[in-house]
Structure 1
Amino acid sequence: MKNLTFAVAFLFSQIALANDFLPSVIYKLDARFTHHVIVVEKSTHTLYLYQYDEPLPRLLKKYQIATGKIIGNKKVQGDKKTPEGVYFFQNFHSAEDLIKKYGETGLIYGAGAFTTNYPNIIDRMQGKTGGGIWLHSTDDDSRVQKGLDSRGCVVAIDEDLKDISQYIDLTNTPVVIVQDLAFLSEATWQTNKEELLGAVESWSKAWVEKDFETYINSYSPTEFTSSKGGYQAYKRYKRAVFARDDKPIIDFRNISALTYKNYAVVTIEQDYSSDVIQDIGKKTLYLKKDENYQWKIVFEGFQKIKEQSNIAFTPSMRFFETVAKKKEIANDSGSI
């Protein structure tokens, strides 16, 4: 009876932990771009799938995976380590595509592979090298049971990769890779969230109101880089833009915020309209904390999108349905 009481108490304590503690890498998701996020914990070889929900992210599913043969954070090409950080899925390669490109070697990727943008801007700032970090399956499921078995990729069994693929939206869905996934109390998590989103709100408000000093103070004077050059070049460029007589109308919506250790990645749907420019797109901010623990922007990117969409993302087997249809067409010789 005592054992049963202990088991029940333990079960309820685990439920309480799941409800009261939140992942330290996810602070906000959104319905447009970051409707789902994949979190890979290397130490336990677990892939967590989280879904956008308000007010808190919701854990949807968990899967077993394998990672690089060598423990540690990837630094150079060929070190067989899985990188850690915030990345985005870029493209999908079907099994057919992989076999065409790599021959029989392509079989090791199983049903298909999703590429990532490793090395990201933070990795490049740190001098990291290498590439070809994918989420893929395998032609030998026993590899996943080994845990440490890839050359740096994240590997799932075929069935799981197909299930995970339903929630991937190329160039939008992030994957956060960590050695150990930390969980925070809701109070601490909320404080961290407010600090990060507060810095982003200060930046966006200053831009709308053409408050140049507050705006430019949102950027790191020592680490910021852009297509315009470093901080000083960007400062001169923006000072000239702010000096124009026009007052642009800027709308920000669908904000997401993810972190890895000392940096954060924030994505925003940005609708900008002025006498000179009119466009809608996805703004991506990379931020790091300075010596005073203040979030500062170190890089920003912008990707135009055709128009605002109010259609909610719907999970589907679209990546593998396409493959199945191709095979069906190839095998159909017609009928009389």
Structure 2
Amino acid sequence: MFSARRPDRSGVPGGSALRRHAAGLAFTLAATSLAAHAQGEKLRHIGQAKPGKTARAATPPAVLRDGLAETRLVEVYRLTGEGRTREALAKAESLARDYPNFQLAQLALGDLLAARVRPLRQMGDVPALAAGDAAAPRAAGDAAAPRPVADVLGELRAESRQRTDALRARPPAGAVPAQFLEIAPRSRHAIAVDASRSRLYLFENTGKGLELVADYYASVGKLGIEKAIEGDQRTPLGIYYITSRLDAAKLSDFYGAGALPINYPSPLDLSRGKTGSGIWLHGTPPDQFSRAPMATDGCLALSNPDLERILRTVEPRTTPVVIARQLQWVQPQSLQPERQKFEAVLDAWRSAKSRGDMQRLLAFYAPGFESYGKMPLADWSRGLEAEARALRGRELQLKDKSYLRWTDTADTMVVTFGEVAAGARTGPVKRQYWMRQGNQWQIFFEGVIG
């Protein structure tokens, strides 16, 4: 990132000693600021905000809008790579002043100051004398051992790589993640997370389909992804929905601007014996702009300005969240054949229920089917039969349909729709989980969600 050419010593008053001192301070501030909050999630819980202090006190000013800090940091990188170090230094100073808690901004500033004294071998090239065996302190009250500055610098370098790599490898124009076969109009937004790039993508559901409107750096679990059990410090993979919006005033400062819980474990997770709870999209403490790529206990952590945009935008219960190891981007028209194939399967289920053909209808349900409360198929079938009788020959209509496909060791479909009998104005909103068994799709979970 930074040039190793002859240092530019102009424009820094006070001589080489002052320049070395300023560079060392910038490195140390960046490292200790990050480490002060690189601790486990949920160390403080709901309702434990400090007395007399509300989340409003931590709200950044309007100038700190979503995505702006990253855009300005990348501009510093670009100018530095072009050898325009004076311009880069001015922009780095401005960025660090506007975002004093942005450790990467402080590190970039430190590098640019140090480059005036000596060539740099890497980002955050702290001299051995300055680094030594120094350790960055933990937050007040945290009994964990201090962390070596070298470890913190390594996390900052990883964060920088993830940010720049994701910005270089942009999704193709008009492309969407392959999981989004169809999103109902009532779902006004959708979220997809690419864990390999530490990136969250926010979509708006327009009349012309999904439109990518923003994307942000996001941290995942300390031990990576594929959550399986409670406390494994991994972020789950799969298809989820935002369940609620948690007010920052009722949370500790650790969660920053607020939180959006998702419905982990999903019915698919439960069918696989996965455990755990409390997976949120949330912010960061007021004195920490962002976290390392792998830093949470399983949640997704974003900077507060970025999270605030999402909090203002998405709707609980209707916003899907896809969390993938690596997103596969496709053009929407390429999804049409699979969407039509599954549409035919769902229509056959609808037709069987409309006609009260219980033998045909039950053939769509897997032997291991369960509903909420672990209701088995034998009990669920009695409810199905009662619903079919209540139709009295009226055709069943499925409205506001969403199909989200998840493929790993199995091929599954998460389906949401409003179920309305002909002549009726409203009906229940249902969610089904289907799994492909050979050439046949079968329902292994169904429940009313609204």
Q: TM-score normalised to the size of structure 1?
A: 0.74
Matched, 1:30 2:184: yes
Pairing partner for 2:380 from 234, 239, 246: 234
Q: Are 2:173 and 1:18 aligned? A: yes
Alignment of 1:109-128 (within 5 A): 109-128=255-274
Alpha-carbon shift at residue 297 of structure 1 (Å): 1.2
TM-superposition CA deviations, 1:6-46 (whole Å, max 9, x none): xxxxxxxx899433x542110111222x2211111111011
Residues 202, 214 of structure 1: 8 Å contact kept: no
One-letter amino acid of the counterpart of residue 219, structure 1 = Y
The partner residue of 2:428 within 281, 284, 306 is: 281
The 5-angstrom pairing of residues 132-147 of structure 1 reads 132-139=278-285, 144=290, 146-147=292-293
1-side partners of 2:218 and 2:226: how far apart?
17
User: In structure 1, what is the equivalent of residue 443 of structure 2?
Assistant: 297
- For 2:171 and 2:196, the matched residues in 1 are separated by 23
Q: Which residue of 2 aligns with 1:88?
A: 241
Specify the alignment match of 1:327 in structure 2.
none
1:200 shift after superposition = 1.5
Evaluate the alpha carbon distance shift between residue 66 and residue 16 of structure 1 in structure 2; reply closer, same or farther with a 3 A threshold: closer
1:166-181 maps to which residues of 2 (within 5 A)?
Answer: 166-181=312-327
Q: Does the alignment pair 1:158 with 2:312?
A: no
Instruction: Give the paired residue count.
Output: 278
Structure 2 Cα separation of the partners of residues 152 and 141 of structure 1:
21
Letter in 2 for 1:194: Q
Residues 1:43 and 2:196 aligned together: yes
- In 1, Cα distance between the equivalents of 2:405 and 2:235? 17
Cα distance between partner residues in 1 of 2:295 and 2:391: 60
CA gap of 1:164–1:15, structure 2 versus 1, over 3 A, is closer
**How far apart, in 1, do the equivalents of 2:283 and 2:394 lie?**
47
- Runs of 4+, deviation exceeding 4 Å: 140-143, 185-188, 239-245
Structure-to-structure mapping, 1:64-103, within 5 angstroms = 64-98=217-251
The one-letter code sitting in structure 2 at the alignment partner of 1:96 is A
* Structure 1 position 287, deviation (Å): 1.0
Name the CA distance, whole Å, in 2 between partners of 1:91 and 1:240.
32
Taking CA–CA contacts closer than 8 Å with sequence separation of 6 or more, which of the two structures ends up with the larger relative contact order? 1
Q: Which runs of 5+ in 1 are unaligned?
A: 1-13, 99-105, 305-336
Q: Deviations over 1:233-263 (max 9, x none)?
A: 4345545654679224533211111122122
AA partner of residue 179 (structure 2): V
Residue 157 of structure 2 aligns with which residue?
none
Gaps of 5+ in 2: 1-168
Higher gyration radius (CA): 2
Q: Which amino acid aligns with 2:210?
A: P
Alignment-derived partner of residue 214 in structure 1: 360
Q: 1:296 to 1:54 in 2, by over 3 A?
A: farther
The change in CA–CA distance for 1:260 and 1:76 in structure 2 (over 3 A counts) is same
Aligned pairs for 1:191-210 within 5 A: 191-210=337-356
* Residues 1:244 and 1:167: Cα distance change in structure 2 (over 3 Å): closer
- The within-5 A match list for 1:287-326 is 287-292=434-439, 294-304=440-450
Please tell me whether the aligned partners of residues 141 and 157 of structure 1 are also in contact (alpha carbons under 8 angstroms).
no
Cα distance in structure 2, aligned partners of 1:239 and 1:91: 33
Q: 1:267 aligns with which of 387, 399, 416?
A: 416
Find the partner of 2:213 among 54, 60, 63: 60
Cα offset, 1:136, TM superposition: 0.4
**Matches of 1:298 and 1:56, distance apart in 2:** 29
Please report the RMSD computed on the Cα atoms of aligned residues, expressed in angstroms: 2.7
Which residue type is aligned with residue 296 of structure 2?
A: S
Question: 1:59 & 1:131 partners in 2: Cα distance?
Answer: 29
In the aligned structure 1, how far is the partner of 2:348 from the partner of 2:208? Answer: 22
Counterpart contact for 2:356–2:385, Cα < 8 Å: no
Q: Which moved more, 1:112-121 or 1:211-220?
A: 211-220
SS in 2 for 1:172: coil
Whichever structure has more strand as a proportion of its residues is 1
Q: Deviations over 1:94-134 (max 9, x none)?
A: 22201xxxxxxx21100111111111111111111111100
| Aligned-residue identity in percent | 28
| Structure 1 residue aligned with 2:62 | none
Question: C-alpha distance in 2, partners of 1:96/1:243?
Answer: 49
Distance 1:280 1:38 in 2: 27
Tell me, in whole angstroms, the C-alpha distance in 1 between the residues paired with 2:171 and 2:220: 30
Instruction: Give the TM-score normalised by structure 2.
Output: 0.56
